[in-house]
Structure 1
Amino acid sequence: MTTFRVQDFIDGQQSRSIHFRILAICTFVMFVDGFDIFLVGKIAPAIARGLGEAPAAMTLVFFLQQIGLAIGAFVAPPLADRYGRKRMLVACSLAFGVLTLVASMATTITEFAIIRGLSGIFLSGGLPMAISLLAEHSPRARRGVFISIAFAGYSAGGAAGGAAAAWLIDAYGWQSGFWLGGVMPLLGALVMLLALPESVQFLASRNPADRRIAPILRRLAPGIELTGHEVFVAADGSSNAQKARLLDIFRGGRARATAVLWMACVLSMGTIALMAAWLPTFFQEMAGIPIQRFAVLAMLGFFGGLVGTLTMGWLFDRIRASRLIPAYYFGLAGMILMLSIVPFEAPFFLGALLAYNFFQTGGQTGLNTMMTRIYPASMRSTGLGWAGGMGRIGGVILPLFGGLALASHFSLQTTLTIIAVLPLTVGLLVLMIPDLARAEPVSQPKPATA
C-alpha cells in the first residue's frame, strides 16, 4: 500500500478545464446567494404594496430572514463536513429554490415572512460550502484568485437584484423577482448533479480507500498513474474516517484563531449590515442629501467592491494574510472617516465611496479566504459556517446603532467616526490570529510505502 497526499497533488497541478468548471459552478452558487439575500431589501416597498401593507410591515420579513440565515449558517455547514459538500449544496439549492417559488404565492406579509425565514436556513449554507469545495479543488498558486472570483459573483448577484427590481417589477409585479430567484438555484442543482465532483479532500478525510477518489483525480490530471493500492489522505494527514465535530475547530492549536475570527466576523459583517441598512438614511437625515441622489453613487460603488475582491485574491497568493487583511480594514476605517469629511458635491466623494467599497468587500473576502487555510478539509465547512453564523448575529445587533444615532441626533461626522472604530478593531484582531494560515511550500505527491 502507498500513501497518497491529496492536497499535495492538487497544489502541484496546473489549472485545467475542470478547475474552471468547478470555479464557474461555485461562482454561480455565490451569484444566486447574492441575488436572493439582497433582493427583498431592494423591492420591499413593492412587496408590501402587493400584499396590502405599509412598508413598515416588512420589519417582520427582515427579522425572520436574518434569523433563518443565522440558523442555516450554524446548521448546514457542519452537515456538509459530515455528508459531503456536493450533496448538501444540491439539497440546499433544491429546498431554497422551491421555497423561493412558494414565496411568490404568499398572500399575506406573515406568510411571506415565514417562508423567507425558512428559505434563509437553506440559503446561508451555500457560501461556506461552495467556498470550501472550491478551495479543496484549487491549486494553491491560484486558490486566492479563484475564491475572489467566486466572491465577485456574490457581489454581481447583489447588483443583479437591483437590475431585476428596475426592469421586471413594474412590468410583472414583485413576484417576478422570486420566480427568477427560485428557478436559478433549481437549475444550479441540476448542473451540480451532472458536472460538479465531490471534494477529494472530504472523501479522503472520511474514507482513505473511497473508490470515488481515483476517478476524480484522473479528471483533474488525465495522465496520472494509480495502481489501485493507494491510501488517500487529506491535507491534515489524517487517514482515519472520522466524523467532524464542532469542537474540532477549537482543537489542534486553532482555539485562539477561531475565537478571534468569530469576534472579527461579528464586527466585520455587522459593519456591512449597519452601513447597508443606514448609510443612505444617515446622509439624508444628517446631511440633507436625498436618498435618490445617494443611490446613484452607491450603484457605482459596486465596481469598487468588485475590484477590491479581485485584488484581494491576487494579493492573497503573494502576501501573508495576517498582514494583508489588516491593511484592508485599516483602509476601510479611513474611508468611512473620509465619507464624513469630504463634501458630497466634491469630485473626490465618489472616489472615497469607491475606495470604501474596495476595502470593505476585499477585507471580508480576505477573512473568508484565510479561513480556508486555517481549517482542514474535515472541518472546513463547519469553520466557515460558524464564523459566518457569528457574523449574522453581528448583522442583527450592530444595525441597532443606526436607530440610536438618529434618535440621539448625532451628526454625520460623529456617527461615522464611531462606526470607523469597528473595522479598525477588526484589523487589530486579525493581527492577533496565530499564523496558521501562512502559506506552505507546494510539493508534489511522493507516495511512501506503508
Structure 2
Amino acid sequence: MSPTRLGLPWPASAERGEDGAVRVAGIDLRTLAEQQGTPAYVLDEADFRDRARTLRAAFEAAFGAVDIYYAGKAFLSVAVARWAHEEGLRVDTATGGELAVALRAGVPGADIGLHGNNKSDAELTRALDAGVGRIIVDSLPELDRIAALVRSRGGEPAPVMVRVTTGVHAGGHEYISTAHEDQKFGLSIAGGAALDALLRAVELPELRLLGIHSHIGSQILDPEGFTVAARAVLALRAELAARTGLLVPEVDLGGGFGIAYLPGEVPLDPERMAKDIAAAVSDACADLGTPAPRLSFEPGRTIVGPTTLTLYRVGTVKPVRLDDGRVRTYVSVDGGMSDNIRPALYGADYTAALVNRTGTAETVLARVVGKHCESGDIVVHEVQLPADITAGDLLAVAATGAYGRSMASNYNHVPRPPVLAVRDGSARVLIRRETEDDLLGLDLG
C-alpha cells in the first residue's frame, strides 16, 4: 500500500504512510516533534517556491511585463524573503521591521515596496536610505513629509504610489475588507481625496509619482472584485492625465487571493484570475482611450498559507455535553491563540488531523482548543477526529502559513514556536523557538 497524499488544504508534499503517520517533504512528523518539540510551524519549502513560480507564470502569461511583490505581512523571515526573490518576486513590506528583514535577506532596495498608514520619519528615512523601489503613500500629509525628508537629504526624488479606496468590498471578514470608505487605509476616490493626493504628488518636485495603488481585502475567492476595482482605478488614472497631462505608468491592484482552509474548498485559481483582470484592464483602457499601465500585485497568503502546518501535542481530552444533547470532545493542545489568533479574531475556520497514527475508532465531533486562559482560545471550531484520540498524540492544523507566526504573541508568557523548513527529506530551523530566557531577558525587573 503506497502513501496517500492528503491534498488540499495541506502542504503539497504531505502524505500519510502505511504506518498511519504523516510525512511532509519526506520528514516524519513524529521525528520532527521528538527533535524540535511542539508546537512548531512546519513549512514545505518546495511548495512555497512552486506556488511563487506558478503565480508569477500565470500573471506573466496574462500581462507580459508584470511585477509580483510577495506580501511579507503574511509571513516573513530572512530565508522566505530570499526564496521569494530567487523565484522572481519582489518583496512588499509594511513596517520598518519587515523592511529590515528584507534587506537582511539581500533583497535589493529597488525590489522592495514600503506600505503603512502611519509610517514614522525613521521608517521613511530608512526606506530612502535603502533606495526602495516605491513608497505607498496612505495620506495627504505623508506626501509633504516625504518631500521634506528628500529636501533635507538633497537626494533624488522619492518614488511613490498613492493608495486609494475604490469602494469595492471584498474579503472574508469586515476586518480584512480594506477598500470600503469607513476604515483607515488609503484615500477615497468617491470623496475626492484620492485625486487631491495625486495632484499634490504631481506638484511636489521631490516626488516621482509612479502610479496608483488599490487593495480591496483578503481571502477573496471571486476575481470580480479585482475587475471592478481595476476599472475604478483606471478611470482615476485617466482623470489625472486629463487634469495634468501625466498618465502614470503603473497600477497596483494589491493581493488578497483566497486559499482553501477546509477540505472541499476551492482556492482562487491564479490563471483564471489573471486572465479575468487582464481582460477587464484591456476593456477599460479601450473605453478610456488610454494605453494600459504596467500592473503589479501583492500576493502573500496564496503563496505561503497552504505550505505550512502547525504541529501540536495533545494534552487534555474532555467530552462536553451540549444543550441539544450532542457531545463535543474538547481536544486541548500545547499551543493555541498565541500561535494562531485568527480563529479568535476573525472566526476563521481550520481543519486538523491526527498525524502520528491512524485512529482505530469512529470519528467524533471535536473542538481543538489551546492552553490559554480564554474561553475563546479555539484553534479549530469543529472537526471530526478519531474517538480514541488521547494525550500524547500529535495533531496538525493545515494552512497556517499566513498570519500564524506573523500574528503570534506571548500571551500568558508562552514562548512562540519555531518555524521549521522541510525539503527533500531534511529539516532546518528558520526561526528558532523562543525560550523563557528570551521572555525574562526583556523584563528589567
Instruction: State TM-score, norm by structure 2.
Output: 0.24
Bigger strand share: 2
**Which has more radius of gyration?**
2
Higher relative contact order (CA 8 A, sep 6+): 1
Instruction: State TM-score, norm by structure 1.
Output: 0.24
